[in-house]
Amino acid sequence: MNKILIVGAGPGAEDLITLRGAKALQEADFVLYAGSLVNPQLLKHCKKECVIKDSANMNLEEQVSTMLAFAKDNKKVVRLHTGDPAIYGAINEQIRLIKAEGCEIEIVPGVSSVFGAAARLGIELTSPEISQSVVLTRTPGRTPMPEKEKASAFAKTGATLVFFLSTGKLDDLMEDLHKNGELSLDTPVAVVYRATWEEERILRGTIADISQKVEEAGFGRQALIFVGKALQGQEDKNVSKLYEKTFSHGYRNNLQREYFQGTCALYAFSKQGLAKAKEITQGLNLPTQIYSVYEDEQAITIQKGNITNLISQNWNSFDAHIFIGATGIAVRSIAPCLEHKSYDPAVLSCSDSGSHIISLVSGHIGGANRLARKIARITGGQACISTATDTNNKTGIDEIAMELNARILNPKAIKTINSKLLHNEPLDFIGDKELYTQYFEKLGIHYANQKTNNSCIFIDFPQEELAYSDEENLYLSTKSFVLGIGCRKGVEPELVQERLHDFLSSHNISEKQIARISSVSLKKDEKAILNLAEKLHVPTYFYEEQELENIAIPNPSQTVHNKIGVKSVSEASSLLCAGYPKVKRPFVEKTAYEKCLTFALTKLPHGKICSQKQGIMSVVGLGSGSHKHITPEVMEIIKNCDVIAGYTPYLDFIRNDIGDKPIIQNGMMGEIERCKKAMQEACKGKHVCMVCSGDPGILAMAGLLLELRRNIPEFNSIIVNTYAGITSANIAAASLGAPLQNGFCLVSLSDLLVPSDEVHQNLHAVASSALPIALYNPAGKKRRDLLHEAIQIFLETRGKETLSAYVKNAGRENETKWIGKLQDFPFEEIDMSTLLIIGSERTIFDDTYLYEARGYMEKYNK
């Protein structure tokens, strides 16, 4: 038996039925509709074979039995009611009888005539400070009204009243509302006849005159009566606070104690948590990314058992990490990443239901407390905050620093100062009197002109170097921003200063808050930038193009890249100047003016600022080691880097080019130690050059350095650039002729880092191909078994007549080589400096050169 659908047809207009209601009509096999109340045009949605019947002349039992007959025949049945079935629809008795026969019911809501009529009146039924309630009711008729639901009782509440089925007793109703409901005779009234139908009519009046107007108009019973002051519209003073600038709610929040700007990662561990993450994301209106253990188009899937690695990778990429689930998951996941309250991002734990939002890490400086309150407003939950100052209704000094957008020079002193603030111990303030009055006086801190025995808060202390190690006094600097500038050559200084004023004003930042100006080195003589720095009394920092090109920025520009070779100047330079990669995102992203000028702002970190020079690791290939095989690009890097690193024998090739540069070197088996030391130097802002023989990306150090960069957080930010070298296969092939003409396979015979089984697997795979093979690392003094096994594999697959060759010390002065058949291979002459080439069916030896036939002769020389 099919279920029966009770569908709301809407107020009357053909296009005001819901999409779900229209679909139900389109699929119906039988439709029973209220003929006198439902617009017959709606029945055009029905298919031709649908049976349609008017219920006007049917009683309840007839209606129900007819619908059940179709439903039992597995037909789709629709009972079409006017408006919304839930309001005066008389559906309860239908539902009871239908369910008694074991048939299910589904109700499809519709647009009630009350809302259709209100729309036609052009009013809001709930008007601030006038009426915030709407009563939908009727006057008594053959169906009596409960004693407590008299119209006069509702009228006394001041709510907007809407009366159904009451036009016939309009005189009595108006008299009751005036005498017993205490409504004045000038109370507005509107009567809407057949709202949204073609024959719709509207009358407006008051309690005093509406009855006569309706009688003269001859309105029938299908009219709604609206009573209340909301009908006269709003006065200017009675406006909703919903869209006021100062009004805050879950989706638009301007409260300072709930202010948070930054990127957020949300991690969901249940389907309910995923739904809550989506709700929070919508409400935050911030850059967000959802991660979920369940696949979803709005989320990145968390691989099983990978949450700790994911958090480690994401840690410095987001300003906040929000865990939707058990707090234990959050605590265990973030533990390896925690560094210091001054640098750690905000971390919060939110229950799946959103009922509790816990601020876990970086409550003040990272903004976790403010974000918890913000999310609580979105979810309707409770922000759980445990920082001592907050729980004692005091404002932490680091929270005030965040309000000021100030930089804390010695974060370790926060604990001391907040403790004294919490215990009402004396604290002094030395600095700008206006800032004191606005932020510090209310905390009971004393204003002082000079240092006393009390712990003190200094604002803009001139000798910053003395502040960093002090743990008894707190030093704040309002000069906390780096201004990055990109500009056209010769831009007018006046234009730069005018547009800077506009830029800073739009973000409520003062010129006094600028600590540094940064740009590309091409602009170090730009008059507009130098004049601005002089005007603001701040230093300038200029960076080479290569340093800027490797900074991850939000708004790269291909136009700028085409002109000067970098994708960003203002954003990249300001980040670098502020201590990138510790600081990863601009405070204010790039803003362009007149197509000749860009500004960006990055906030300086708390504490002592790291080197403003970005560490770079260049991994270069020396080819054979002979200078004729070193590319000019690589030689330029060797000459200009700060530190040289490499395997001692490889460094011997370039000793005369190193000069007095610091050197990191060791022997075989010291690769990890060597690469770690090199990366540590790069962390200090130095340009380190790691030299390799051949090409650095083939059986050399590039891969190891990139592994270390990924797996050791300290190295995550190091820029690793790889510069090609000529690998020994190419040098050896050139010495022999052209034996790799049609392509080749490259295989290492060393099993020091790769299991021998894998080496065997590789050998069998390439031996069965039609390509020549280049064998690297063929044998050491003790490691020779794999060489014999490899030659045996090639003998079995390619045959003993296969041409082969070796080149020892390829490209060097002591180079030697051999060419012959595989059956005559000279095993005893092979060492680690030897490269082997196993030929293919196309390989030819003409007594002088070893080469492969390319195929031109066969195709074109006919």
Cα distance between residue 599 and residue 556, in whole Å: 14
Cα distance between residue 805 and residue 791, in whole Å: 12
Torsion angles phi and psi, residue 632, rounded to 5: -55, -35
Higher pLDDT, 251 or 559: 559
Cα distance between residue 56 and residue 583, in whole Å: 74
Secondary structure of residue 86 in the 3-state scheme? coil
- Burial pattern 33-68, b for ≥16 Cβ within 10 A else e, equals bbeebbbeebbebbeeebebbebeeeeeeebbebbb
Write the pLDDT tens digit of every residue in 714-769. Answer: 787 688 999 999 999 999 999 999 999 999 999 999 988 889 999 999 999 999 99
Residue 652 has pLDDT above 60, yes or no: yes
Structural contact between residues 831 and 814, judged by C-beta atoms closer than 8 angstroms: no
Confidence of residue 217 (pLDDT cuts 50, 70, 90): confident
260 alpha carbon, distance to own chain's centre: 15
What contacts 24+ positions apart, CB below 8 Å, involve 59-62? Answer: 60/93, 60/94, 60/97, 61/97
Q: Which H or E run includes 516?
A: strand 514-520
Reading the block at residue 165, the tokens are: 């089925």
Residue 610, pLDDT score: 59
Residue 489 has pLDDT above 50, yes or no: yes
Write the pLDDT tens digit of every residue in 607-633. Answer: 877 555 667 899 999 998 889 999 999
Task: Please compute the mean of the pLDDT values over residues 175-191 and round it to a whole number.
Answer: 95
Positions of E strands within 100-244: 105-108, 134-138, 160-164, 188-193, 201-206, 223-227
Residue 642, pLDDT score: 92
Reading the block at residue 26, the tokens are: 């389109």
Residue 825 has pLDDT above 80, yes or no: yes
Confidence of residue 249 (pLDDT cuts 50, 70, 90): very low
Torsion angles phi and psi, residue 852, rounded to 5: -110, 140
- Burial pattern 370-405, b for ≥16 Cβ within 10 A else e, equals bbbbbbbbbbebebbbebebbeeebbbbbbbbbebb
Cα distance between residue 258 and residue 254, in whole Å: 7
Residue 311, pLDDT score: 94
Residue 463, pLDDT score: 75
Higher pLDDT, 462 or 423: 423
Residue 154 has pLDDT above 90, yes or no: yes
Structural contact between residues 769 and 842, judged by C-beta atoms closer than 8 angstroms: no
pTM exceeding the 0.85 threshold for the entire prediction: no
Strand-strand pairing, 346-350 and 320-324: parallel
Strand-strand pairing, 346-350 and 356-361: antiparallel
Distances in Å between the alpha carbon of 552 and those of 109, 545, 617, 682, 713? 52, 14, 16, 17, 17
- Residue 303 is classified by DSSP as P
Residue 172 has pLDDT above 60, yes or no: yes
- In a 10 Å sphere around its CB, with 0-12 CB exposed, 13-18 middle and 19+ buried, how is residue 448 labelled? middle
